[in-house]
Amino acid sequence: MITVATAGTLTLATAISAAAVTLSSSTAAAGTTDAYLTSASANTAAVHAAQPAGGSSSQQALIFGQLRAMRAEHQQEVAAENAAAQAKAAAAKTAKAAADKAAAKAAAAKATKAVQAAAVTTPSGSPQQIAQQMLGQYGWSGGQFSCLSPLWAHESGWSVTAENASSGAYGIPQALPGSQMATAGSDWRTNAATQIKWGLTYIHDRYGSPCGAEAHEQADGWY
């Protein structure tokens, strides 16, 4: 606050300059445009050029009133900028929370899908039961098992460890070589589900269905 002494003890230009400094130090905020200070400086220069040193109290009051108005306007601008910054930060926080929630939901859905897929692709039971449960994964009806059952009974007796001494064909589907079944799982030597998965995929891609493979077996003695 600038107090103007009796006439002649403080020049008008000095009072205005001091007021501008006071306003600058008390209202300037980072990130704001101090347009009002520029205006104050211009106003000070204009008054200084137009008025002699030691201007009247009414003139001083007018200038101080103008400076107070500019200060109030600037404070409103600062408040508006702060409010906008807070709103932007709140919006960013809300957006991040929504993104995190969506990511967590997607991860949970993916994990659930993986568990469900694992349950579908690794059924339990005897080799024949496992094969029956897998038929639907290839778009086949349960009736296709009537062709698959004699096909693999003839090839391997549905034995996981069946091995053809002459050719080296191995497992329930008699893969040749047996190592081909590694594409269905690293436990292809001992896991019936892994061997059946490979065998059904082979039948699907080559013959279209177990009945198609069985028909070829009956005609040519192999599939």
Look at the chain and report how many structural domains it folds into.
Answer: 2
88 and 159 both lie in a single domain: no
In a domain, 145, yes or no: yes
Q: How confident is the model at residue 150 (pLDDT cuts 50, 70, 90)?
A: very high
pLDDT at 136: 95
Q: Is residue 2 part of a domain?
A: no
In a domain, 184, yes or no: yes
Judge if 106 and 66 occupy the same domain.
yes
Output the six-digit token pair for 4: 């103007």
In a domain, 1, yes or no: no
SS3 state of residue 207: coil
74 falls within a domain: yes
Residues in the chain: 223
Confidence grade of residue 33 (pLDDT, cut at 50, 70, 90): very low
Same domain, 142 and 62: no
Domain boundary among 63, 79, 114: 114
Range of the domain at 35: 12-114
Q: What does the alpha-carbon distance between residue 149 and residue 146 come to, in Å, rounded to a whole number?
A: 6
The model's pTM: 0.48
Same domain, 201 and 132: yes
Residue at which a domain ends, from 55, 87, 114: 114
Q: Is residue 3 part of a domain?
A: no
Question: Which tops the pLDDT comparison, 145 or 55?
Answer: 145
CB-neighbour burial class of residue 159 (10 A; exposed 0-12, middle 13-18, buried 19+): middle
